[in-house]
Amino acid sequence: MHIPTCQTQELEILTFEQALVPTQWDFDREKWLYIPDHYAEYRYLLGTRGENPLICIGINPSTAVPGDLDNTLKSVERIAAGNGYDSFLMFNVYAQRATRPEDMDAQCNQALHRENMTAFRYVLSQVGAGFTPAVWAAWGTIIEKRPYLRDCVRDMVAIGEEYGARWLCAGKCSKKGHPHHPLYLRKEEKVRDFPVTAYLDQL
């Protein structure tokens, strides 16, 4: 369980570029991408290295770290492998760690969001030559927890267009069209195209 100690506006946030600088955290850097590379009140990125990753988009990070994945990340890892991807990258609409979404910032921290979007560009740039960035929308109904989350997704879709990203989903969408959360999906679940633009138009 991770309960935020405060609103992120009260924290000194590392920029994404600053967060790329290695610290003393002990994990296999040839296998894992973990930014920042130490446990903090926010996380830009967690995943494995590869040429053709499945980029999963949740709402916000919880407690997972390299080598100690939570159940959501374990599901993401299984589904990525089951769909033929050589790695997975877990990204989030909002970078603040909070196991309970209702503990997220009441208002969007624009500085944190800006750095998170820089991180998203970095994620898309990690896809190998010859591969189309595969972006798995997987935030579930949690997107309804904060109004600003929808605007964050809109920014991500715009950035994705610059990189020719293909948006995907897995499992049954909700009645309102929200893409299914990774937890409780069958390990053999197949990803499929997700009409993210139409989805945003009806939010």
Percent of the chain scored above 70 by pLDDT?
100
Tell me how many domains the chain contains: 1
Q: Is residue 58 part of a domain?
A: yes
Mean pLDDT of all residues belonging to the chain: 95
Q: Is residue 17 part of a domain?
A: yes
The burial of 98, by beta-carbon neighbours within 10 Å (0-12 exposed, 13-18 middle, 19 or more buried), is given as buried
The burial of 18, by beta-carbon neighbours within 10 Å (0-12 exposed, 13-18 middle, 19 or more buried), is given as exposed
Tell me the residue range of the domain where 137 lies: 8-202
Q: How many CB atoms lie within 10 A of CB 154?
A: 14
- Could you give phi then psi for residue 95, rounded to 5 degrees? -85, -5
The distance in angstroms from the start CA to the end CA of the chain is 30
Give the pLDDT band of residue 180 (cuts 50, 70, 90). Answer: very high
109-144 confidence digits (pLDDT tens): 999 999 999 999 999 998 999 999 999 999 999 999
Which pLDDT does position 141 carry in this prediction?
95
Distance in angstroms (rounded) separating the CA atoms of residues 120 and 38? 19
Give the pLDDT band of residue 166 (cuts 50, 70, 90). Answer: very high
Q: Is residue 2 part of a domain?
A: no
Q: Is residue 98 part of a domain?
A: yes
What CATH number corresponds to the domain at position 175?
3.40.50
Which pLDDT does position 112 carry in this prediction?
98
- Could you give phi then psi for residue 185, rounded to 5 degrees? -75, 145
Q: Is residue 45 part of a domain?
A: yes
Assess contact for 62 and 70: CB atoms under 8 A.
Answer: yes
Say what angle helices 110-125 and 148-162 make with each other, to 10 degrees.
Answer: 30
Q: Is residue 1 part of a domain?
A: no
Give the pLDDT band of residue 37 (cuts 50, 70, 90). Answer: very high
Q: Is residue 3 part of a domain?
A: no
Which position has the higher pLDDT, 65 or 26?
65
> Global pTM?
0.96
User: What is the Cα 104 distance to its own chain's centre?
Assistant: 15
Q: How many CB atoms lie within 10 A of CB 1?
A: 8
Q: Is residue 43 part of a domain?
A: yes
